[in-house]
Amino acid sequence: MSGALKSALTLAVLAVLVLVAALWGWAALTEPFPEDEPVAICEDETVTAGSEVRRDQVVVSVFNGSGRSGLAGATSAQLGERGFVAGDVGDSPLPAATTQIWSSDPTNPAVLLVKRQFKRAEVVQGDALGPGVVVVVGEKFQALRKKQVESVVAKADATYCRATGSE
């Protein structure tokens, strides 16, 4: 094989390799980024009677049922300082005079734990506006109780939305 033929063949192979590399690079460059799957903030868990439910296991969503701006966010931050996991924050679809905890099970240990953080909170039937225990702070709400309740013991088997990542 002559030197000119070897050079031409080598140049052709290199050109094909560069073309393949360019096509592969362009395909990788124009490919969309992979989507991160959102992680659920909490998952339903059943606790048996006698089991302890702690603040760091409970997700609390707070909604403003008053005319005061920022009340839900401030209350959610205070609950977060106490160790609760923050859920959704927003405005309630209905106005409220008092603090309400919306739940279909008033004896649920997570509901009772959240209720004990508030003065004169009442448990009422309501929709799940957000994940976890739903609290609607009303016009008469002033502050959380000074005494912080860290946990409650379930009196009966119950299911609540346990914060992911809590032990």
Q: Write the pLDDT tens digit of every residue in 81-114.
A: 999 999 999 999 989 999 999 998 889 999 999 9
Residue type, position 116, single letter: R
How confident is the model at residue 126, as a pLDDT?
Answer: 79
| pLDDT tens for each residue of 125-165 | 877 888 999 999 999 998 899 988 999 999 999 999 999 87
At 158 the three-state DSSP class reads strand
In angstroms, the CA 9 to CA 2 distance is: 11
pLDDT exceeds cutoff 90 at 80: yes
Q: E strand or H helix at 123, and its extent?
A: strand 122-124
| 117 CA to centre of own chain | 20
What's the whole-number average pLDDT of the chain?
Answer: 91
How confident is the model at residue 90, as a pLDDT?
Answer: 94
Please compute the mean of the pLDDT values over residues 9-19 and round it to a whole number: 89
Residues 6+ apart with CB under 8 A from 5: none
Please compute the mean of the pLDDT values over residues 43-70 and round it to a whole number: 93
From residue 162, give the alpha-carbon distance in Å to each of 37, 40, 101: 19, 10, 17
In this structure, what token pair is assigned to residue 113?
């734990």
**Bridge-partner residues for 62, per DSSP?**
89, 135
Residues 6+ apart with CB under 8 A from 162: 42, 43, 44, 45, 57, 58, 59
How confident is the model at residue 39, as a pLDDT?
Answer: 83
